[in-house]
Structure 1
């Protein structure tokens, strides 16, 4: 359990880590972007040797693209550099590489941080999650749409390509001019790079290399975001009961990965700490965990246990748990039983 004094003073505990380090940020750029470009070129070169080798190199490049996305993510939070303009420039460059519009994503992600785990404020920057009662109140077609959305084959099969290649190409409703212009710049940058590479190496070679790089990185990114909030023991509450500390420490997972995977994913597995303070750069998240006992009592989600989250579909407000669709039958049977007992009780009285 979290000590009361630590809970009261968590801001003081985490404040020393909320500063970017210019040398570490530049070193992270160098050990991420340079190897990515080298691996991408090596994957292209290997096309004349063996496509199996190409796939291995492309997967490694895809892993580095996930790391580039985390740098993009830090720039959106203003935590990678102390300078706002530097964050915006690097974030836009990384946004072109990851197919993510910088200003649009920064807005939706800030809303996600402010509302994560709040049942009264869902709908932007999060995984569509309904309560049992909300699901039962839907008309048949919307129930079907929700079931399709929550199907892993659709969520992790079609979802990444739809979101990164299609949805992010358009501005959101109500976006201001600066955000709209940034989306146009991102789109033009993506088109220019694709056009240049197709012109220099040919469209077939481009697709054979970039295809697996994109598919692996987007799938990994989707999975990370999913398991960060859709896990056994997660937290959802309605507005009045919701609080930031509980949503961060219990509604965001500590995804305990092998060190090499923590490196490729920019420590985003320490997501409970990140949600507590998005101002902490990714390269300090592991230190916050290791040096402060307040964060060490959070139950970890492992690679094996995270697979359980694939069966979660719906939130039961009574049990305070994510459940599968099969639970709905038990829920309806229990409700009918309660109604009968209530009816018998009313008649006897």
Structure 2
């Protein structure tokens, strides 16, 4: 069976030990968790939102007051991280774990996501598809592996953003989705959406365009350098955070992916891994506690640690976590995870060197 802490990925995946069925059910895991973990607190959720907004506002005030190129790189790093934290608040809204009030979730979701150029409803719906199909090679929505054949057929620009510039992929994904899929997060006729979701998609796209208009007006008034100093710098850092965390939660050489009847929801939900971001954990709302989130996606982020501790004894070796440095994990997976075999109901990532040797 797999070790709880990822240390050595050269070991042979223990697929035969895992079998086709898990030795526990979703109901078993839910029964082990205190009922209070499934109850969102509007006050607590709003507190996280307003704290992030306050910090972002304060950082802008400091940056504007100093107006120093010695400070701007530091500002970009800190503010981009806070953009990412604000995204995570909107992420809770999209899951309905911010509150039990749909209108409040949608309001805060738009307030959190629109300033960082995320079309809230478009993203919410595609993210719902991802959660419903995690670990399924054929139907997962984001950061799923490509097959060996698809890898060989991918044009250079797809390989560029997927394998060589993965931390800048998110804006491209919003417009073109992942390799092998078509559609946009902005257009209701995309295959991502149901006809009943048309107005949700159009609403978020309109807010996105409004934000683009605001940025354009500021650029016209104060120039391109103003845009770079106060927005583009933090935005790039935010995109890198989003891609880094998403990549690391779903890209490991020893995490299985499934095809056909060998996949079902709980098994797929366990094809992710908890990461330790150190002192960043409380800043980005413990998003690294990811396994419990995939099993119970409507659970507020501030209850995920408690839930994780409750289900770990049941999950046993099916629970994956890594305590190694984040950048070490990233570069290892960056080199080791490119494609999966064309055949097989349970498969694992293989490196580019395997493809080159076979050719």
Shorter-chain TM band: 0.7 to 0.9
Q: RMSD between aligned alpha carbons?
A: 2.8
TM-score between both structures, scaled by the size of structure 1: 0.81
Q: Structure 2 CA distance, aligned partners of 1:193 and 1:134?
A: 40
Shift in Å at residue 30 of structure 1? 2.2
Which has the higher Rg, Structure 1 or Structure 2? Answer: 1
Cα distance, 1:243–1:11 mapped onto 2, change above 3 Å: same
What TM-score, normalized to structure 2?
0.79
Instruction: Indicate the larger mover: 90-99 or 188-197.
Output: 188-197
Relative to structure 1, the CA distance from residue 151 to residue 117 in structure 2 (aligned partners, 3 Å threshold; closer, same or farther) is: same
Q: 2:164 aligns with which of 132, 148, 152?
A: 152
Runs of 4+ in 1 over 6 A off after TM superposition: none
Alignment of 1:36-51 (within 5 A): 36-47=56-67, 50-51=68-69
- Superposed displacement of residue 151, structure 1: 2.5
**In the alignment, what sits opposite 1:326?**
353
Q: Tell me the equivalent position of 1:346.
A: none
- Deviation, structure 1 residue 203: 4.5
- The aligned counterpart of 2:267 is 246
Distance 1:24 1:231, change over 3 A: same
Residues 210-254 of structure 1: CA distance to partner in whole angstroms, max 9, x if unpaired?
1210010111111111111111311211120012222222x1111
Query: Distance in 2 between the 1:242 and 1:128 partners?
Result: 14
- Contact 1:32-1:68 within 8 A present in 2 as well: yes
Q: Distance in 2 between matches of 1:118 and 1:20?
A: 29
> Contact 1:104–1:172 (CA<8 Å) still a contact in 2?
no
Cα distance in 1 between the residues matched to 2:204 and 2:340: 34
* Structure 1 residues 15 and 170: alpha-carbon distance in aligned structure 2, compared to 1, 3 A threshold: farther
Q: How many Å apart are 1:110 and its aligned residue?
A: 0.8
User: 95, 102, 111: which is aligned to 1:77?
Assistant: 95
Is it true that 1:127 corresponds to 2:143 in the alignment? yes
Task: Give how far 1:168 is off.
Answer: 4.9
Shift of 1:89: 0.7
Post-superposition CA distance 1:302-335 (Å, at most 9, x none): 3123321111110135683211111024456xxx
Q: Residues 121 and 292 (structure 1 numbering): CA distance in 2 closer, same or farther, change over 3 Å?
A: closer
Q: Distance in 2 between matches of 1:295 and 1:274?
A: 14
With over 3 angstroms needed to count, the CA separation of the structure-2 counterparts of 1:134 and 1:213, relative to structure 1, is closer
Q: 2:56–2:79: 8 Å Cα contact kept in structure 1?
A: yes
Superposition map of 1:265-284 within 5 A: 265-284=284-303
Greater helix share, 1 or 2?
Answer: 1
Distance 1:242 1:262, change over 3 A: same
**Does structure 2 conserve the Cα–Cα contact (< 8 Å) formed by 1:99 and 1:168?**
no
- What runs of 5+ residues in structure 1 fail to find an aligned partner? 333-349
SS in 2 for 1:322: coil
Which stretch of the first structure deviates more once superposed, 69-78 or 312-321? Answer: 312-321
Which residues in structure 2 correspond to 1:227-306 (within 5 Å)? 227-249=248-270, 251-258=271-278, 260-293=279-312, 294=314, 297=317, 298-301=319-322, 302=324, 303=326, 304-306=328-330
| Larger RCO: 1 or 2 (CA < 8 Å, sep 6+) | 2
Match of 2:121 among 103, 106, 122: 103
Alpha carbons 1:19, 1:279 under 8 Å: kept: no
What is the number of residues matched between the two proteins? 320
